[in-house]
Amino acid sequence: MTKLISIIILFFSTSLFATKRAYIDVGKAKVKKSLLAFPALQYYGSAREKESVKLGQNLFSTVKNDLDVSAMFSFIDPKAFLEDTRKVGLRPAPGFPKGFKFSNWTPLETEFLIRAGYKVIKGQIIFDTYVYYVPQAKLIFNQSYKGSKNNFHRIGHKFASDLIEKLTGKKAMFNSKLTFTSDRFRKGEKEVYIMDWDGKNIQKITNHRGITLSPNWSRDGRKITYSSYTYHRRLKKNNIDLFIYDLMGRKRFLASYKTGINSGGGFFPGDKQIALSISLNSNPNIYSMNLTGKKVLKQLTRGPNRAMNVEPAISPDGSKIAFSSDRSGRPMIYIMSKNGGKARRVTFAGKYNASPSWSPDGKKLAFAGYDKGHFDIFTVNLDGTGLKRLTSARKSSGRFANNEDPSWSPDGRFIVFTSNRTGNNQLYMINSDGNNERRITYDRHQYYKPKWSPYIN
């Protein structure tokens, strides 16, 4: 297992999820955000321990950024606080000595109050959290987290995810990760990387020293498929082979190496079968492959008329496959049964539609659409209705930028994509309704084909 995946966080709670009440309606949060007070973390050690103090500041920033990205809260300015949170405890008075007073938070119309503190012992951080619903002066969430201080980022994501699930009754994506290819290691080469959704903890997982393409997660988040240009001695030339990388064992396996292009591996539920595109020295078609025992191939598309069929994306329930095909003359998005057969066209607008990605509820597709000289990200219902453009950006020259390669977050609230608006291909994310666009990477490298992971515990 990779370092990023193998992080273990021990945690215990006294009142976690004691009630099933949802305090925030996700739909209504778009109209009115909840007022949240989040004072700085209390440190139980000495202020002279600069490393530990900095650790707490970073942990606080991680949590606050997660909650800000959720778009569910308006943060109360600390300058407006009516008590010095450094001098009162994490639990309320009068039940606890030197406790804080709810009466100091109600005038600010505070809905939720987070009080949290931490200590560092022998390289381990213990993070104690208390969340209160101020209108009822009620503790609604209390949990302690323990893990290596080097993994404070993961601890912060875990708390933010638990909190959102408690308040909304729905899972959050803060524990999730991204995979992508990039030239970060060496210009002119592309390797596969994984990182936290917010751009932290980047790790290179391949070392082909060449060109890798189109990584994708297994359903359990433990494997990644990708393609790579590989030299075949028999052919005396490079071939685009499909590999599977096992994050648990840190090993790669050659999955498909038919002569031509082997790419776009997507896992069916159960992770024992994949769909991929294979060219076999002709226009590519989509196949399914059994990964257990003998690798049985089944051809799912056959043209028509030597059409290109690529980028298979499997629906969340595994019953359908979306893909890009130029069978109508221009590349458009189609959907077919998992067993192949007749395909139904979904998109009709634009000159080139590519990179379909299913929403987690299976009701929509995101894709990159080319029109008027550039790509943008769109969503559409499965019947072709409800087409919506999510992105539009210009370069410094004033020309429109390309926004491509969409992938949904596991909670269905966000879409990650690439954009060359800065001159380099960088990673961005946007709410699935087209609001709150954010940049994820800030460097001069190139990033390609990001895929959002499933939920990772």
pLDDT confidence band for 257 (50 / 70 / 90): very high
Report the C-alpha gap between 449 and 97 in whole angstroms. 54
The predicted structure's pLDDT at residue 316: 98
| Terminal-to-terminal C-alpha distance of the chain | 14
The predicted structure's pLDDT at residue 19: 45
Q: Domain 10-168 adopts which CATH fold? A: Rossmann fold (3.40.50)
The predicted structure's pLDDT at residue 20: 56
The predicted structure's pLDDT at residue 105: 98
Q: Which of 415, 362, 419, 450 is nearest to 173 (CA)?
A: 415
What distances in angstroms separate CA 204 from CA 26, 179, 195, 208, 268, one per listed residue?
35, 10, 9, 11, 25
pLDDT confidence band for 9 (50 / 70 / 90): very low
What is the residue extent of each domain of the chain? 10-168, 177-452
Q: For domain 177-452, is the CATH number 3.40.50.300?
A: no
As a whole number, mean pLDDT of residues 395-415 equals: 97
Task: Select the more confidently predicted residue: 172 or 3.
Answer: 172
pLDDT confidence band for 25 (50 / 70 / 90): confident
As a whole number, mean pLDDT of residues 387-408 equals: 97
Asked if residue 12 has pLDDT above 70, the reply is no
**Residues 173-221: tens digit of each pLDDT:** 999 999 999 999 999 999 999 999 999 999 999 999 999 999 999 999 9
Asked if residue 14 has pLDDT above 80, the reply is no
pLDDT confidence band for 294 (50 / 70 / 90): confident
pLDDT confidence band for 30 (50 / 70 / 90): low
Task: Select the more confidently predicted residue: 26 or 387.
Answer: 387
Kindly report the number of other CB atoms within 10 A of residue 444's CB atom: 11
What distances in angstroms separate CA 70 from CA 66, 239, 308, 309, 399, one per listed residue?
6, 43, 39, 37, 31
Mean of per-residue pLDDT scores for the chain? 92
The predicted structure's pLDDT at residue 31: 58
Report the C-alpha gap between 25 and 33 in whole angstroms. 10
Query: What sections of 228-269 are H helices per DSSP?
Result: none
Asked if residue 5 has pLDDT above 70, the reply is no
Find the radius of gyration of the CA atoms of the chain: 24
